[in-house]
Structures are given as structure tokens and as C-alpha cells.
Amino acid sequence: AVVSTQSGHYGRGMGIVVLTEHLSEIPFFFFGEYAIKIFGHTRLIASACIVYAFRFLSYSIISKPWLIVPFEIGNGVTLALMWASAASYVCLVTPQKHQVGMQSGVL
């Protein structure tokens, strides 16, 4: 919303931001299983929270709307790895008969 209102390029600015967000998620969703095996659920969820905090702090100090675009690459880390870790962790700690209900609550 900041890009569209301050830059005057409503469609183009938001399109670039959304494209950057979604393209950055693809590799993290694809390799999420390997990252979980290497780092573990807790570390990935904690690191995603740290990246969230860094992104939000960065949004508060940037002065030009186009500077949002590089920070949106962090969306792949925060969204994809957080969701993959949370969904996988729910499968580990939930009894077999309740896994579907718990995963639908996470997602």
C-alpha cells in the first residue's frame, strides 16, 4: 500500500512487490523439507520470527517506497519456512487421528 500511494504507480509498484514476494517463496517452499531436516523445526520458526522483526523494523525506517522491494525477499524465509515448519511440527506432536484437524488449524 505504501508503494502505491507514495509513488503514484498503483499497478506497477504493487505488482513488483507482490511478484518479488511470491518468487522468493518458491525455493523456500521447495527446499523446506531439507531445511527442516538440517536445522529443525524450532530453529526455523525462531529464525522466521527474527526475519519478521527485521522486515518490520526496516519498513519503519525506509524513506523511499521502492526500498520495500529488496526486503520482500525475506517474505520467502518468513512465510514459507514458518508454514512448512509449523505444518510439519504439528504432524510430529499430534496423534494420527487428529492430524488433519490440527493441520487445518495451522494452515
Tens-digit pLDDT profile for the chain (107 aa)? 454 455 555 677 778 888 888 898 898 888 988 999 999 999 999 998 998 899 889 888 988 878 888 888 888 778 888 888 888 888 888 887 777 777 666 66
Prediction pTM value: 0.74
Amino acid at 4: S
- Rounded to whole angstroms, how far apart are CA atoms 65 and 58? 12
- Rounded to whole angstroms, how far apart are CA atoms 33 and 66? 33
- Rounded to whole angstroms, how far apart are CA atoms 54 and 100? 33
